[in-house]
Amino acid sequence: MKKINKTLLGARNQDLQQIVTEARYLENLETQGKTPESVVKSAKESLGLSDNESVIAEWEAKFGAVNKLQKNFVDTNALTTRLKDDNLITDEEVAVLEGIESRIADEMVSIFGLDLEDLYEVEEDEE
């Protein structure tokens, strides 16, 4: 009895799945009136890249820094809130931490192209 080449069959199956996934993605772009070229152009503009720079290479280099910045933004806000709520921090110390948070927020606004207000959720009692 012949032994089936499961490795080859599995690899071909993955190749087929990848091709179908890519085709579905491209068809979805078309229904949205986009082309692969327009998506790449938009990504380059968002990242501030020139036409000859690679989105993949530049984003991978930037991705870690952006995630770290976002984490620091969230952590700084949470720390300030916790310390303030527990009365463990003076008004002067709050001002220092809020200044740090503000500088990080400015970077987040620049990277994501948002308004500063959009970085914060509106609390129930503020409406």
Q: What is the dihedral of CA 5, 6, 9, 12, to 10 degrees?
A: -110
CB 76 within 8 A of CB 58: no
CB 113 within 8 A of CB 46: yes
* DSSP designation for 53: S
**Phi/psi of residue 54, nearest 5 degrees:** -90, 130
Tell the residue number behind the tokens 């503020």, with chain if given.
126
pLDDT of residue 49: 84
Q: Where are the alpha helices (DSSP H) in the chain?
A: 6-31, 36-47, 55-85, 91-112
Going residue by residue through the chain, which has 127 residues, state the pLDDT in tens, using 9 for 90 and above: 888 889 989 999 999 999 999 999 999 999 999 999 999 998 888 778 888 888 888 777 788 888 899 999 999 999 999 999 999 999 999 999 999 999 999 998 988 888 898 888 877 665 5
Q: Whole-structure pTM over 0.75, yes or no?
A: no
Contacts of residue 35, Cβ cutoff 8 Å, sequence gap at least 6:
29
